[in-house]
């Protein structure tokens, strides 16, 4: 007699014909891979998605490194200027140090956040931000060496060239890397414009301390 489907708890078995062997229903490729290896094989779409994520992480990490380099170069003349200003007038030097410290906060975030999101390591983000800020005391130390050796400060032309070069580097990083990446993660612009405005206000407030 023919067997009923109730006698086959595995729904994939087809009841045999009279005396014939049981036939297994064909399975899809993913199901076969799952039966053999315990999990369905990754398809082309999955591999493409994983590759895209890795590429995005590399771009974020590279952006963090570029920003760290530019800010490190930018901080060097600031440390030098703070040292020279403190020698001339300690009050002016203290005000300058506070102003630079305030605007170093968003600068450090620009370095640390891309590296953190690219690597998932808070320590790496912190260390790269710290490294970019170390150029300020190095600049102050070099200023001390220059004055000790020659008894004179660097010319104003040198300061102008240094700050001009750094300004160009920072603008290019903002226009070509920071803002496009921000809009990539906030395509509807719910936060980017407001955050950029807040950042500019913070920097403007720190620069106003130079005038006090």
Question: pLDDT, tens digit, for every residue of 76-130?
Answer: 877 877 887 787 778 877 877 887 887 788 888 888 888 898 888 999 999 999 9
> What token pair was written down for 13?
């078995």
The distance of Cα 193 from the centroid of its chain, to the nearest Å, equals 18
- pLDDT higher for 52 or 60? 60
- Mean pLDDT (the chain) is 73
**Mean pLDDT computed over 197-202:** 86
Residue 189: pLDDT band (50, 70, 90) is: very high
Angle at 15 between CA 9 and CA 22, to 5 degrees: 95
If one counts every other C-beta atom within 10 angstroms of the C-beta of residue 118, the result is: 21
If one counts every other C-beta atom within 10 angstroms of the C-beta of residue 54, the result is: 11
Q: What is the pLDDT of residue 188?
A: 93
**The length of the chain, given as a count of residues:** 212
Question: pLDDT, tens digit, for every residue of 124-160?
Answer: 999 999 988 888 888 888 878 877 777 666 677 777 7
**Mean pLDDT computed over 23-29:** 49
Task: List, as one string, the DSSP characters of 38-61.
Answer: SSPPP-HHHHHHHHHHHHHHHHHH
Question: What distance in Å separates the CA atoms of residue 54 and residue 49, rounded to the nearest whole number?
Answer: 9
Judged against a pLDDT cut of 70, whether residue 40 lies above it is answered with no
**Mean pLDDT computed over 37-47:** 50
Q: What is the pTM of this model?
A: 0.52
Q: What is the pLDDT of residue 48?
A: 46
In sequence order, the 6+-apart residues with CB closer than 8 A to the CB of 165 are 73
Question: What distance in Å separates the CA atoms of residue 186 and residue 39, rounded to the nearest whole number?
Answer: 34
Q: What is the pLDDT of residue 101?
A: 82
Taking the C-alpha atoms of 182, 186, 187 and 188 in order, what is their torsion angle to the nearest 10 degrees?
A: -130
Burial 55-83 (b: 16+ CB within 10 A, else e): eeeebbbebbbbbbbbbbbbbbbbbbbbb
Residue 191: pLDDT band (50, 70, 90) is: very high
């Amino acid at each position: 007699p023919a067997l009923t489907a109730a006698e086959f708890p595995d729904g994939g078995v087809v009841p045999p014909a009279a005396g014939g062997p049981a036939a297994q229903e064909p399975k899809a490729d993913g199901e076969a891979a799952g039966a053999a290896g315990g999990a369905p094989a990754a398809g082309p779409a999955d591999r493409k998605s994983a590759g895209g994520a890795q590429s995005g992480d590399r771009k974020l990490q590279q952006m963090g490194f570029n920003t760290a380099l530019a800010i490190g170069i930018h901080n060097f003349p600031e440390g030098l200027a703070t040292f020279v200003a403190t020698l001339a007038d300690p009050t002016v030097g203290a005000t300058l140090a506070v102003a630079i410290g305030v605007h170093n906060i968003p600068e450090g975030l620009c370095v640390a956040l891309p590296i953190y999101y690219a690597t998932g390591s808070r320590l790496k983000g912190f260390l790269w931000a710290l490294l970019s800020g170390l150029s300020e005391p190095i600049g102050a130390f070099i200023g001390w060496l220059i004055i000790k050796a020659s008894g004179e400060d660097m010319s104003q032309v040198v300061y102008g060239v240094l700050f001009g070069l750094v300004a160009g580097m920072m603008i290019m990083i903002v226009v070509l890397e920071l803002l496009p990446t921000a809009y990539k993660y906030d395509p509807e612009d719910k936060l980017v414009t407001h955050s950029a405005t807040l950042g500019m206000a913070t920097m403007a407030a720190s620069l106003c301390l130079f005038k006090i």
